[in-house]
Structure 1
Amino acid sequence: MKNFKRDNLLFSLCGLNCGLCPMKIDGYCPGCGGGAGNQSCKIARCSMEHGGIEYCFQCGKYPCEKYEGIDEFDSFITHQKRRTDFERAEEAGIDFYNAEQKQKAEMLCDLLDHYNDGRRKSFYCTAVNLLDLDDVRAVMASIHDGLKPDESTLKERAAAAVKIFREKAGERQIVLKLKKKPRKKK
């Protein structure tokens, strides 16, 4: 969006974790306020109209009508923890929250580099986004302890990693699936 710039490209204005998004990882999107490639956004426009606030939770009107139904469905990235993530960022501080997101992004890169059989990127992005940092660390420790690259195929490692993530998510009653908007009937 023209004239909309932000410094933090990991955590968006509206509370999405851009650093864990497949579109940003693949270079199709620069992240919220990252320059060329940003799409028009009513929330970015609102920020500009309100003095360029960095995060919606900093606005006295948050949550406003722009957030009504906004989390009902996911896009390329999950919207399911947006409010919880805002609360965490506000309570712990942006620097602390960003440090956690950087750790998650590093683990996500490890998954994509060593445990992705070409069919798991969206799953891993969703899993790392929805699970807390400690849970992701625990899953990664289990993966690294139990799966040796020289002892299994990539497809076997990917299937085993997905199983471990699903087990951890099940313990937390989290469904590791994007909520897709139903297709319109013709």
Structure 2
Amino acid sequence: MKGFERKNQLLSLCGLNCGLCPMLLGGYCGGCGNGNQSCAIARCSLEHGGVEYCYECGQYPCEKYEGCEAFDSFITHRRQKADLERAQKIGICAYNREQTEKARILNHLLENYNDGRKKTFFCVAVDLLELPELREGMEQLDSAGELPGKEKSRYAAEVFQKIAQRRNVELKLRRKTGRK
């Protein structure tokens, strides 16, 4: 969006974890980051003096957040408000440290366990699972020893799927269906 730039590419102003998004990882950010897509929340930010995060606005949470977590885009929206609240509570620097560690884990998974079909799965898993759970999963993968290509990828997905099931977390994007 013209006139709108983000310094923090890990967390968007609306609460999406951009640093864990397959679009940004692929070298193209289609949202508010440094992309060229029109974003209603970026436009709103400019209209409200250029707030860095929506929680800085006196009208947050506004009607733009109604139902925002019901469906996903390229990245999950399920924790959008909760992640904004966490960033506000612990501070952006601490939140970014957590996201940087998550991004390192994600990059390791993509470089070593992606069979070419698990990029979105790993992005969603790293976004929705907590750091201690991700560390637990990585320890399991490290202790498994060397596995052949696709088996290695399948095993990694199973490890994170089991961790997610303990918390009743579904590791897939929820898309809108039946568009009018």
- TM-score, structure 2 normalization: 0.96
> For residue 92 of structure 1, what is the aligned residue in structure 2?
90
SS in 1 for 2:125: helix
| Partner Cα distance (1:180, 1:58) in 2 | 29
Contact 1:89 1:97 in 2 (8 A): yes
Deviation at 1:30, TM superposition (A): 6.8
Aligned 1:63-82 pairs, distance under 5 A = 63-82=61-80
Contact 2:32 2:39 in 1 (8 A): no
1:180 counterpart = 2:178: no
Contact 2:109 2:122 in 1 (8 A): yes
| Partner Cα distance (2:31, 2:139) in 1 | 29
Identical positions, percent:
55
Contact 2:114 2:153 in 1 (8 A): yes
SS in 1 for 2:105: helix
| Partner Cα distance (1:32, 1:10) in 2 | 12
Deviation at 1:28, TM superposition (A): 1.8
Partner residue of 1:58 out of 56, 59, 72:
56
1:132 counterpart = 2:127: no
Contact 2:15 2:83 in 1 (8 A): yes
Structure 1 runs (4+) greater than 2 angstroms displaced: 30-34
* Number of equivalenced pairs: 180
> For residue 121 of structure 2, what is the aligned residue in structure 1?
123
- Let me know the Cα RMSD of the aligned residues: 1.3
| Partner Cα distance (2:10, 2:20) in 1 | 8
| Partner Cα distance (1:119, 1:56) in 2 | 34
- TM-score, structure 1 normalization: 0.93
Q: In 2 relative to 1, CA 95–30 (structure 1 residues): closer, same or farther, beyond 3 Å?
A: farther
Contact 1:9 1:32 in 2 (8 A): no
Contact 1:147 1:157 in 2 (8 A): no
User: What amino acid maps onto 1:102 in structure 2?
Assistant: T
